[in-house]
Amino acid sequence: MSILRTKITRILDAHSITYRVLPHREAVFTVEAAARERGVPREEMVKSILLRDRDARYVMACVTGDARLDPKAVRAHLSGEWTRLSFARPEEIVTTTGCAQGAVAPLGLPAHVPVLFDEAIAHRKRVNISSGDPMAGLELDPQDLIKVAMAQLVPIAQVR
């Protein structure tokens, strides 16, 4: 349990997931700033990116903080007739996730929003996600995150 109470911490607490709160000195909205504030390497960070298709269907795609997302790879792993994917607008992010852009976590999403994690996330010793509050992050075991997010592991990072 922690003093920080957000939708994200309540979900983790409800699943008895162990995590560590990493407070920030100032609000952060980028992976680089969050990693710096938390004193962790970028590759431990999880970027949670909400994408939408032309039919206003959403998917949460997550990659490590040192990687770039490949939207075409995301679409290739979705079932059905998903059209070209684009980044969701800030107002769509708030409406769909309940979190502001830059403070999004891959938890607590509506049931119709699939969650895809790049396979590299499973190979980290620990990962950092947003708490839903730009003043703190959460560090946890990647396997716990994958389980509670009900994420599918697929190769969705751009090959450099």
pLDDT (tens digit per residue) in 40-55: 999 999 999 999 999 9
Strands 115-118 and 152-154: parallel
Q: Grade residue 1 by pLDDT with cuts at 50, 70 and 90.
A: very low
Q: How far is CA 35 from the centre of its chain?
A: 14
Instruction: Say whether 76 sits in a helix, a strand or coil.
Output: helix
Domains of the chain: 7-154 (3.90.960.10)
pLDDT (tens digit per residue) in 106-146: 999 999 999 999 999 999 999 999 999 999 999 999 999 99
